Each structure stands twice: as C-alpha cells, then as structure tokens.
C-alpha cells in the first residue's frame, strides 16, 4: 500500500537533487586522490587536492540547499575542532618549527572544512548510500592496487622492499585501517535484505579483497581496530544473523587460500629473487581468485536462502544475538583458557612488562610473526611526549613538531615525527589546551555519530549506518596508537563517515521515522526489504531556495582563506625541492634562485635558509652564508641542524674554533645522539 506523501507538494520534491550529492562526490574524489598519492602525507602532493576541494566547497556553499541545521552535538564538535585548529595555528607564534605548525594547521583546517560542509549537507538515504558505497569503492580500488603488489609483482613493483603492503597509501598501518573501516560497509551490503543478488555477491567479493590486503599489511594495530569495528557493527546492526553468515562466507575462502600458500616464503618475507617472487605471486593470484569466486557463490546462496524462506523477524533477531553471544563468549573463554595455560596473571604481568619495555624476545620482524610480538616501539615514544610536556614549555612545542621532542629524548637513532598516539601528540605539541580541544572534538563527534541508537529500529538503512558508525569508532581507536591524523586520506575518511552518520541521523529524526512518518514512498513491491533498486525512492524533503546571506559569505570566505593558506607552503616546498635538485646537477645559480624563492614563499621555514647558506659557501660567499645561518638560528633556535651547520661554517671557513664548539654543543643539547655533532666536537678537542 502506497504511503501517504506530504500534503503540500509546493514545498516537497521527489528524490534527491543533484546538488545534494556534490559535496559527497567531491569528498570521495579527494579521498581517492589522497589514497593514491602517498596517503596525502606529502605536502607537495596533498596541497593541490586540498586546494581544489576547498575552492569547490566555497563555490558549493552558494548552491547548497540548507534544509536544517546539524544537531547540537555536531555543531559543538565543529566548534571544538575549530578551537583545536585555531590553537594549532596560534602555536606558530611559539613553535620550535613554525613552518611545521603552519602545515599542521592547514591539515586541521581542511578536516574542519570537510566536517562542516558534509555536516550541513542534507543527508537522506541516497546521500548515505553514496557515502558508504563510494567509500567502499575507493578503498577497494586502493586495496586492489596494494594486493597486486603480491599477486602481480612483475607488473606492480611496489611491494618488493618490504613483505608488508603499504602502497598506494604509503604506510602499512593506515592501509590496514582503511581496509578495516570499509569492511563493515561491505558486510552491510552483502547482508542487505532485498538487495539485488549481484550487489550482494559483489559486496562479498569486495570484502574478500579487503581481507587479503589487510592480512598482508601484517598490522597489529589493524587487528585491534578490526576487533573494535566488528564489535561496534554487530552491536548496532539489525542484520546481525545475515552479517555473521556473510562474514563466514567471506572469511572461510580467504582463510583456505592463505592456508594453501602458507609455505610460499616470498609472500611473507622480503626477497630479491624476482623470478621466484613472481611465480609464487601468481600462485597466490590463482588461489585468491578461487576464494573470491567462492565468496561470491556462497553469498548468492545465502541471499537465495533468505529470499526463499521468510524467517520471522523475532527468530532472526534472536538467532543473530545467540550466535554473536556464542562467538564472543567462545573467544573470551578461549582467551582465558590460553592465559591460564601460559601461567595466568604472572604471565600477563610479564607480557605487560615486555610491551612497556619493548623487550619481547620474539622481536618484530617484517613478517607475519610480528603479529605475536609485543615490540611495538610505541611506549618510548609515548614517554618522550610526556617528558617533553613535563620539561616545557607548557603550551607545547608547536603543532607538528614532535620530531624535535624525539631528537631530544631518544635513546637510539632514526627519525620519528609523531608520538604514535594522537592524544599524547596533542599534549606534547599543543599542551593542555590542545589536548582538551582535541578530546572534546573527538568525543562530541562520536556522540553525534552514535546518538539515538534506540531510534530508527525500522530504518532500512540501519545496517549501512551501523557500518559507518563502526568505521568512525575504529578510526578513533586506531589513532590512539598511530599517526593516522597526519595522513589526509585517513583523516578525510574519518570525517566522511562520521559526518554522513550524524547528518543522516539528523535527517531521519527530523522526518520522524519512528513517529510514523515513513522515510520512503513505496508501492509495496519491495515488501520492506530495503533494496537498492528503483522501487525505493527518497522521502520528499523541504528545499528552500538558496539566497545570499551573511552565513554563506562567511562560510565561502573561510574556505577560500584555508585554500590560500595551503598555497605558500606548497610553493615553498616545491621551490626547496627544486633547489636541491638543481644543486645536485651543479646549477648553483639556479639553485640559489630557487632557495630564495622558497624563502619568500615561506618565511617561517629554516630549510631554505640552510640550503641557501650551503650554496653561498659554494660560491665563496662565506660571510653571506654566516648571516643566512644566523637568521635561521634566530628563526628556529630549537633546530639542532641549524647549529650544526653553523658550527661547520665557523670552524672551516672562519677558524673560530670556540664559537664552533659552542654551536656543536648546542646541537648536542637539542639532539644528544647526533653522531655528526659529537664527531666534530671531538675533532676540536672540546668533547667535554
């Protein structure tokens, strides 16, 4: 029986307008571009994408049909995120590396723009489906490319240096996180009641591809995030039994294929043997294709069984709850038995000590065995962040400057640019105000995306909504032990799924779904099955005319200002890279011009000054080089490399040994394990 539509057609329209889709399409395009360009971590790659998105969003503001305001929780989340971004920007004033803080501000402001634009977008069924299916499609594309490094190593050559997959994102743990965030979406589509059979089968294939890529990332943090995502999804979805069945249909063939290739060593460890790697990769390809086909067929069988037998809703709900409870209790009971056999609480204490001290005898090699190791390298980084906060300044070292903290407190070599916990990173770099605003933003974002869990029980999009909510929670959990925030692909994914969830709940509640107003207009052909076919139409929604208003002017102007803020660091980095390249080719004059250009575009950066000083020394202009390095030291007195370069110049060009020794000592104060500064100081006979 056809549901009653709104009585006033003058203020209603059938189906979503094209402009309601633009913000989601643009964000999905940006997410895809970031994913295939080093995850959006490299500024010179991320900036053009961010700028284009921001300019497009500024234009979209003038055609968007603001139907209703976001929820108060979401507005509060935006306000907290804005405070965090502004505090990151203000930290430029006291930052150890002001150009790094500028870049960190740009990323935070871009995320704020994504969250705000999607938050005010009218998000009905069509938009939610676009967000979910689009996110899945982009992630599967990235996963396919990554997995091709294993199965077609002769064609896709990115997976040879390490056994772990990381391309195209550029970091294996973030690649694993994206696979985890997309997996509940694939499950919700595979288990979607009444959906076309081919769609359900395709979703099962997509989930299998995600699973293969996830496995070969060898990510321990990814395993924890996967557990969080599945717990949240199965707790919230109304398709629990069907989703469990689909998960089994997906996991069983994948597990069988992996078991079959378990003895192919080049799949699990790095190797220089190209022909063997290719042969074993092709073997994995054959078995993985069979696994995909099996998942497709099994899912079709499940869908046909569900259509052929009309199971009572109460029975489906009870069966799903019982199976889920059995799985949880079985996993928990198995864990307790395992712990008891290993030695109980004393074994747990030993494991905790191994985690805290990175002293697990099993190590953390680049292989599947690392999944059992507790050597994560993270506890020392967390301690460094806390040590920096205790040492001061209490306002932090400036957004994006953890590398200086690591130099000061590290006990070994290498370079680490993040505390591998966004919470501790915020405390170290931005002090209590930064941590407080960030915690508030994330807490309010989660509350907004997860609110009203008891409402919408009859909503046919509940499973897809649960999947996006699970993805949101998985990201927030994962960034507690990794640097996802710094990669634009992951950050954009977070605000895409969180904003879609919150905006849809606002739309659904305002339409009064549970109060008796239907969300769809149906002729009865779908029988409430929630399919994606043409029998399902978007609910009529109010679409007031767009008009010039102070709010639109302000929003458009702010988006353009953020776009402009991305431009100088982008051009400065390009000019700096060009200067280094020209210098390597012997074009000193051109390199000097490029270094000066980088300096003009970003007067906060020290790297162009150090490059310029080295070039001036090559030209025999040592006094000019000295002034340049002194300017760099004045700009960034906490940058050990500036003092090291200054010491070299004072010693070798001017013979000022005492001043050179003082410069090297200062460098060692800022980076006690800098071997080069220690060597130069010993050579001067001033090692003490």
What mean pLDDT is reported for the chain? Answer: 86
Inform me whether the pLDDT recorded for 513 exceeds 60.
no
Sign of the alpha-carbon torsion through 608, 611, 613, 618: negative
Answer yes or no: are the C-beta atoms of 350 and 333 closer than 8 Å: no
pTM of the model: 0.90
Structure tokens at 246: 């689909």
Reported residue count of the chain is 688
DSSP lists the bridge partners of residue 521 as 537
| Stretch (H or E) spanning 356 | helix 345-357
Domains of the chain plus CATH, in order, are 9-310+453-546 (no CATH), 567-683 (1.25.40.10)
Q: Token pair for residue 478? A: 């994962």
When pLDDT is cut at 50, 70 and 90, the band that residue 507 belongs to is: confident
What's the pLDDT tens digit per position in 435-491?
999 999 999 999 999 998 777 677 889 999 999 999 999 999 999 999 999 999 999
More confident residue, 513 or 476: 476
More reliable by pLDDT, 412 or 398: 398
- Encode pLDDT of 77-106 as tens digits: 999 999 999 999 999 999 999 999 999 999
Residues 6+ apart with CB under 8 A from 199: 189, 192, 532
- State whether residue 149 is helix, strand or coil: helix
Compute, in degrees rounded to 10, the torsion defined by CA atoms 459, 463, 465, 466. Answer: 130
User: CA–CA separation, 428 vs 395, rounded Å?
Assistant: 9
Asked if 677 and 664 count as a contact pair (C-beta separation under 8 A), the reply is yes
Joined together, the tokens standing for residue 369 give 């065995």
**Residue 520, φ and ψ in degrees, nearest 5:** -135, 160
What is the rounded CA–CA span in Å between residue 667 and residue 82? 36
How far does Cα 75 stand from its chain's mean position? 22
pLDDT at residue 460 in the model: 85
Contact 450, 442 (CB under 8 A): no
Question: Is the distance from CB of 230 to CB of 168 less than 8 angstroms?
Answer: no
- 185 Cβ neighbours under 8 A, 6+ residues apart: 132, 133, 135, 136, 464, 467, 468, 471
**Mean pLDDT confidence for 236-260:** 93
Q: List C-alpha distances in Å: 573 to 48, 63, 578.
A: 13, 35, 8
Position 534 scores a pLDDT of: 42
User: Which structure tokens are listed for 332?
Assistant: 């928990």
For the beta carbon of residue 273, count every other beta carbon within 10 angstroms.
11
Give the list of residues 6+ apart from residue 383 with CB closer than 8 angstroms, or none.
409
Which pair of structure tokens corresponds to residue 572? Answer: 């400065």
pLDDT over 70 at 323, yes or no = no
d(CA 633, CA 594): 21
Per-residue burial over 438-454, b if 16 or more Cβ lie within 10 Å, else e, is bbbbbebbbebbbbeee
> Element (H or E) spanning 538, and its range?
strand 537-538
Q: Give backbone dihedrals phi and psi of 368, rounded to 5 degrees, phi first.
A: -60, -25
Q: Spell out the SS3 assignment of 206-248.
A: HHHHHHHHHHCCCCHHHHHHHHHHHHHHHHHCCCHHHHHHHHH
* Cα–Cα distance, 180 to 475 (Å, whole number): 9
């Amino acid at each position: 029986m056809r549901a009653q539509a709104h009585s006033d057609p003058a203020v209603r329209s059938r189906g979503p307008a094209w402009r309601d889709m633009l913000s989601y399409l643009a964000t999905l395009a940006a997410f895809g571009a970031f994913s295939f360009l080093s995850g959006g971590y490299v500024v010179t790659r991320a900036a053009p994408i961010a700028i284009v998105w921001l300019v497009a969003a500024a234009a979209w503001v003038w055609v968007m049909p603001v139907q209703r305001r976001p929820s108060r929780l979401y507005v509060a989340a935006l306000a907290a995120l804005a405070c965090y971004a502004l505090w990151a920007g203000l930290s430029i004033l006291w930052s150890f590396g002001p150009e790094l803080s500028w870049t960190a501000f740009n990323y935070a402001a871009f995320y704020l723009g994504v969250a705000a634009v999607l938050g005010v977008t009218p998000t009905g069924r069509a938009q939610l489906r676009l967000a979910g299916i689009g996110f899945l499609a982009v992630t599967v594309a990235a996963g396919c490319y990554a997995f091709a490094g294993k199965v077609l190593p002769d064609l896709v050559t990115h997976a040879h240096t390490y056994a772990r997959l990381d391309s195209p994102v550029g970091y294996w743990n973030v690649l694993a996180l994206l696979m985890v965030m997309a997996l509940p979406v694939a499950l919700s589509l595979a288990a979607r009641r009444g959906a076309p059979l081919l769609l359900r089968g395709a979703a099962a294939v997509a989930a299998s591809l995600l699973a293969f890529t996830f496995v070969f990332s060898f990510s321990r943090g990814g395993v924890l995030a996967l557990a969080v995502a599945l717990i949240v999804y199965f707790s919230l979805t109304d398709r629990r039994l069907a989703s469990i069945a689909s998960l089994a249909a997906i996991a069983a063939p994948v597990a069988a294929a992996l078991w079959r290739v378990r003895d192919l060593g080049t799949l699990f460890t790095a190797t220089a043997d190209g022909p063997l790697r290719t042969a074993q990769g092709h073997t994995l390809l054959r078995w993985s294709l069979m696994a995909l086909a099996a998942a497709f067929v099994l899912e079709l069988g499940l869908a046909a069984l569900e259509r052929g037998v009309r199971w009572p809703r109460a029975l489906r709900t009870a069966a799903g709850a019982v199976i889920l409870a059995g799985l949880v209790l079985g996993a928990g009971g198995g864990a307790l038995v395992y712990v008891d056999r290993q030695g109980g609480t004393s074994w747990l204490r030993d494991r905790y000590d191994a985690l805290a001290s990175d002293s697990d005898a099993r190590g953390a090699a680049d292989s599947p065995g690392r999944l059992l190791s507790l050597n994560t390298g993270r506890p020392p980084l967390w301690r460094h962040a806390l040590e920096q906060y205790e040492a001061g300044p209490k306002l932090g070292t400036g957004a994006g400057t953890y590398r200086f903290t690591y130099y000061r407190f590290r006990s070994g070599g290498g370079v680490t640019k993040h505390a591998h916990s966004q919470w501790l990173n915020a405390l170290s770099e931005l002090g209590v105000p930064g941590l407080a605003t960030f915690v508030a933003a994330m807490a309010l974002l989660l509350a907004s995306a997860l609110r009203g869990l008891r409402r919408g029980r009859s909503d046919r999009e509940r499973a897809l909504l649960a999947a996006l909510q699970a993805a949101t929670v998985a990201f927030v959990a994962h960034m507690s032990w990794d640097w996802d925030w710094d990669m634009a692909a992951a950050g954009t994914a977070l605000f895409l799924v969180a904003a879609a969830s919150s905006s849809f709940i606002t739309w659904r509640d305002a339409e009064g779904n549970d109060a008796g107003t239907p969300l769809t207009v149906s002729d009865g052909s779908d029988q409430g099955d929630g399919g994606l076919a043409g029998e399902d139409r978007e609910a009529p929604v109010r679409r007031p005319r767009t008009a010039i208003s102070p709010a639109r002017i302000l929003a458009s102007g702010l988006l353009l200002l953020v776009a402009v803020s991305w431009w100088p660091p982008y051009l400065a980095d390009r000019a700096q890279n060009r200067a280094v390249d020209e210098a390597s080719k012997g074009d000193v004059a051109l390199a000097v011009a490029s270094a000066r250009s980088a300096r003009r575009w970003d007067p906060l950066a020290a790297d162009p000054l150090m490059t310029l000083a080295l070039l001036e020394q090559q030209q025999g202009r040592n006094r000019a080089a000295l002034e340049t390095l002194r300017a760099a030291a004045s700009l960034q007195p906490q940058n050990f490399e500036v003092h090291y370069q200054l010491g070299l110049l004072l010693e070798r060009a001017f013979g000022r040994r005492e001043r050179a020794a003082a410069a090297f000592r200062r460098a060692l104060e800022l980076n006690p394990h800098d071997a080069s500064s220690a060597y130069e100081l010993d050579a001067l006979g001033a090692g003490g």
